[in-house]
Amino acid sequence: MNDINDLSGDDRSREARRVTWVGFWINAFLGTVKILGGIFGSSAALVADGIHSFSDFFSDIIVIILVPKSHKRPDSDHQFGHGHYEALATVILAVALMAVAIGILIDSIGCIIDFCHGEIIPKPGKIALIILLISILSKEWLFRYTRKVGMRIHSDAVIANAWHHRSDAFSSVATLAGITGAMFLGEKWRFLDPAAALVVAIFIAAVAVKMLSPALGELLGRSLSPEVCRNIEKAVSETPGVMGYHAFRTFKSGNDAYVEVHIKVDPEMNVRDAHRIATLTERRIRETLPEMSVHATTHIEPYGESSRK
C-alpha cells in the first residue's frame, strides 16, 4: 500500500471518484428496486429504505462534484488551497440525510397513528425480503470498500460516504426485522412495517449528526484536535535549539493541516543557525502528521525578550 505522501492530489481525487462511481451505480439500482418492490410488495418500510438508498445516490453525486475540487492546487483566489470543499461536501451530505430522516419519520408516525385508529395495513410481499437481503450484503461490501479507500487517501468526505453506506445496511436490517414481523405474526402486528421505517429514520438522523459536527467545525476554522496539537507542541519544544515558543495556531482544510508557531532561540545566534533551527522545527512538525499535507510556518524570536502574541 502506498503512503499518502506517494499520492498526488490528482491521484487521491481519481481514487475518490472511482470508489464513488461504484457506489453511485449500486445505489441507483438498489434505490429503484427497493421503491418499486415496496410499492408492489405493500411495504412502507421498504419504500423508506429505498429513499435512503437514493439519498446515498445523491450524496455520491455531491462527492463526485466537490471532492475533486478539494484537491486542486492553490490559486490566486484560494491561496490556502481548496480543502474546505471537502468539508462543504460532508455538510451537504449530512443536511440531506437529516431532511430524509425527518420526512420518513413524519410518514411512519402518521401510518402508525392511522393503524391505531383502525386502518388496516397491507401485508408485505415476500419480494421485500429478497430485496432486503441483497441490499444488506451489497451495502456492507460497499461500506468496507469505500471506507478502505477513504482511509487510504485520508478523505473525510469519502469516509463519511462510507458510513452513509453502512447506515443504509443497518437500516435495511431494521427494515428486514419489521417486514418479517408484519408478514408472519398476523394482522395485528402489521404496524411493525411502519415502525421499521421509523427506526430507519432514527438511524439516518444519527449518522447525519455524527457527520455534521466535525465538518462544520472545519468550515468555521476549528483547530486540529487537542491530541494532535499536544504532539505538535511536544515536537516543537523538543527541537534542539528551541528555548521556548508561543503564538501556536493550527487549522485543518481537507487533507491539509496549517501550523504556525513563534519559536525563541539564543539571541546571540547568527541568522544562518537560527534559520537552520526553524527549518528543523518545521520538519519535525510535518513528521507528527505523516498522513496529511502539513504547511508549517515558524517565526524566530530572541529568547529572553518580551513579545506579543
Residue-level pLDDT at 118? 73
4-219 classified as CATH 1.20.1510.10: yes
Task: Report the C-alpha gap between 123 and 191 in whole angstroms.
Answer: 10
Task: Report the C-alpha gap between 186 and 184 in whole angstroms.
Answer: 6
Instruction: Report in angstroms the alpha-carbon separations of 43 from 31, 47, 103, 107, 181.
Output: 14, 6, 16, 13, 12
Q: Span 226-302: which CATH code?
A: 3.30.70.1350
Q: What is the mean pLDDT of residues 13-28?
A: 80
pLDDT tops 70 at residue 264: yes
Please state, rounded to an integer, the average pLDDT across all residues of the chain: 78
What does the domain layout of the chain look like in residue ranges?
4-219, 226-302
* Tens digit of each residue's pLDDT (9 = 90 or more) over 266-308: 988 898 999 999 999 999 998 888 777 788 889 999 987 665 5
* Tens digit of each residue's pLDDT (9 = 90 or more) over 131-185: 888 888 988 898 898 888 888 877 776 787 787 777 777 777 877 877 888 778 8
